[in-house]
């Protein structure tokens, strides 16, 4: 056994930066053990840890070839990596000879100094904990349902592969019990969960591979990829490069919880992302701020889909209460089938609404032009100047609430919902490019123009986008 110990001192000047600590892995290595400790851990200091194999460190961020072997943030004080097993969050596989690196990231620091120590143990010879298995199951979709319909899901959750407490089978079973059709598993900065998705799947629950890109400047979910993406973003240019790489690989990227209690997203000037998580956890947790930023983007002409996610870290049980559950909120996607490709395409097209719970308020609407063409939320509605567009929809389970029709100019209409199954219609005249979306809210206790936080949403839709056609001469 070879042991290497690193010691050092942290200061606030190193916050939101990464440090790399090299160690040698000789031929024949079968097991790595890494542990670390530091002073004042908790509210005063948060020190993250991860591991890279030979390659991927020089030059900083390398979305394509970084030799990533795992990340546990500040959630674990020790981890193991071997040929065919690893601590959740870390990737098993060959331990190639060469220079490896422990990476430390100082998330925050309020004390003047804090000392740390990292211990790396390298073992050669037979690994007694080995399972002698090279099996890496391929991610398979749940049983396909060919009929187009609304599918209910949760796009943001965590397992034992990052800071969650549940295994993937436990999350799938909980989703099935909640009546959800799909989950996106988005563990922090790792894809170690991906090889386990197929074995954990249920016929009724599709599990979409994801990664929560957890930077020191904000978080973003990536869906539909099974290979790791680098999280060590330091600049807006890095964020733009990440978005481009996600799209090059055919995935979707969503900005997570852009609000004070998020943490917020610092690079709001960067564009090209597909979605905004306008609803994370329970609505009252400052989600009005995320909704306001999304509306600002829409007014600027951006077309990004609004989604929601529970960000759940533990399934609620009678013995252990958790503030909310899977599907709080629920993202509903109109898709052609119950497959990853169809669900992601529905999100990409904005065929999405979000509500508080899979058994909660349902809200849909369409736009119809004078020549009879019909469009759903997320669609572009081409119309000549002066054209009247007929907006109509249904709301169920919301008697006593208020329906708000929101456009670029603010509030286009407000209707009292006076029946459990409520139908409505509003005609709008096209004078400029615009968008129209629907919110179902509780009657506010304080006028919203006086206190925006008084907005309590029970369901909201993506917009239809009206594009004014001009006649060519």
pLDDT in tens, 10-60: 999 999 999 999 999 999 999 999 999 999 888 789 999 999 999 756 556
Cis peptide before 263 (omega within 30 of 0): yes
CATH 3.20.20.140 positions along the chain are 135-358
CA-based nearest residue to 175, from 197, 191, 190: 197
CATH 2.60.120.380 positions along the chain are 2-124
CA-based nearest residue to 312, from 441, 141, 195, 158: 158
**pLDDT for the residue numbered 136:** 34
Mean pLDDT of all residues belonging to the chain? 93
Are 91 and 70 in contact by the 8 Å Cβ rule? The answer is yes
- Spell out the per-residue pLDDT of the chain, length 473, in tens: 999 999 999 999 999 999 999 999 999 999 999 999 999 888 789 999 999 999 756 556 677 667 899 999 999 999 999 999 999 999 999 999 999 999 999 999 999 999 999 999 999 987 655 443 333 333 444 455 568 999 999 999 999 999 999 999 999 999 999 999 999 999 999 999 999 998 887 889 999 999 999 999 999 999 999 899 999 999 999 999 999 999 999 999 999 999 998 999 999 999 999 999 999 999 999 999 999 999 999 999 999 999 999 999 999 988 888 999 999 999 999 999 999 999 999 999 999 999 999 999 999 999 999 999 999 999 999 999 999 999 999 999 999 999 999 999 999 999 999 999 999 999 999 999 999 999 999 999 999 999 999 999 999 999 999 999 875 54
CATH of domain 135-358: 3.20.20.140
Write down the pTM of the prediction.
Answer: 0.93
Residue 70 CB coordination number (10 Å): 29
How does DSSP assign 200-252, residue by residue?
H-BTTBEEEEEEEEEEBTEEEEEES--S-------SHHHHHHHHHHHHHTT-E
**Top-level class of domain 2-124:** mainly beta
> CA 7: distance to chain centroid?
35
How does DSSP assign 180-196, residue by residue?
-SEEEE--BT--TTGGG
Sign (positive or negative) of CA dihedral 70, 75, 78, 84: negative
- Measured CA distances, 372 to 276, 383, 390, 457, 469 (Å): 32, 12, 10, 32, 17
CATH 2.60.40.2470 positions along the chain are 361-473
Tell me the C-alpha distance between 273 and 294, whole Å: 12
Residue 341 CB coordination number (10 Å): 13
Which CATH fold would you assign to the domain 361-473? Immunoglobulin-like (2.60.40)
Helices (runs of H) and strands (runs of E) counted in the chain: 5, 27
H or E element that contains 296 = helix 287-299
């Amino acid at each position: 056994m070879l042991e290497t110990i690193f010691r050092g001192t942290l200061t606030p000047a190193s916050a939101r930066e990464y440090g790399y600590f090299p160690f040698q892995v000789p031929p024949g290595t079968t097991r790595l053990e890494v542990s670390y400790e530091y002073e004042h851990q908790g509210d005063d200091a948060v020190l993250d840890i991860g591991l890279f194999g030979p390659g991927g460190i020089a030059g900083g961020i390398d979305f394509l070839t970084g030799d990533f072997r795992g990340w546990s943030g500040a959630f674990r004080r020790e981890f193991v990596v071997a040929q065919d097993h690893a601590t959740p969050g870390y990737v098993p596989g060959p331990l190639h000879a060469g220079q490896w690196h422990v990476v430390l990231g100082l998330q925050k620091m309020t004390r003047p100094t804090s000392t740390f120590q990292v211990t790396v143990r390298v073992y050669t010879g037979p690994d007694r904990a080995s399972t002698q298995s090279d099996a890496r199951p391929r991610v398979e979709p749940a049983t396909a349902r060919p009929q187009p319909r609304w599918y209910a899901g949760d796009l943001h959750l965590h397992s034992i592969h990052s800071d969650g407490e549940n295994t993937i089978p436990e999350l799938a079973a909980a989703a099935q019990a909640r009546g959800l059709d799909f989950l996106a598993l988005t563990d922090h900065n790792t894809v170690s969960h991906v090889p386990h998705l197929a074995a954990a799947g249920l016929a009724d629950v599709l599990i979409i591979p994801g990664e929560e890109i957890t930077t020191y400047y904000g978080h973003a979910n990536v869906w539909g990829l099974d290979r790791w993406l680098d999280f060590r973003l330091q600049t807006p240019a890095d964020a733009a490069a990440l978005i481009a790489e996600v799209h090059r690989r055919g995935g979707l990227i969503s900005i997570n919880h852009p609000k004070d209690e998020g943490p917020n997203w610092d690079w709001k000037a960067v564009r090209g992302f597909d979605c905004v998580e306008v609803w994370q956890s329970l609505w009252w947790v400052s989600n009005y701020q995320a909704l306001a930023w999304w509306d600002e983007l829409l007014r600027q002409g951006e077309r990004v889909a609004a989604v929601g996610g529970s960000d759940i870290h533990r399934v609620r049980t009678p013995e252990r209460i958790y503030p909310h559950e899977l599907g709080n909120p629920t993202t509903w996607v109109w898709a052609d089938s119950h497959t990853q490709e169809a669900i992601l395409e529905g999100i990409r097209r904005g065929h999405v609404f979000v509500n508080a719970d899979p058994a909660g308020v349902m809200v849909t609407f369409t736009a119809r032009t004078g020549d009879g063409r019909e469009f759903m939320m997320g669609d572009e509605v081409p119309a000549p100047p002066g054209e009247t567009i007929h907006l109509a929809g249904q709301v169920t389970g919301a008697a006593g609430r208020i329906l708000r029709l929101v456009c670029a100019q603010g509030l286009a209409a407000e209707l009292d919902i006076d029946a459990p199954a409520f139908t409505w219609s509003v005609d709008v005249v096209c004078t400029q490019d615009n968008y129209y979306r629907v919110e179902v809210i509780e009657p506010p206790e304080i006028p919203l123009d006086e206190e925006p936080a008084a907005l309590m949403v029970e369901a909201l839709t993506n917009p239809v986008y009206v594009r004014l056609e001009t006649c060519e001469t």
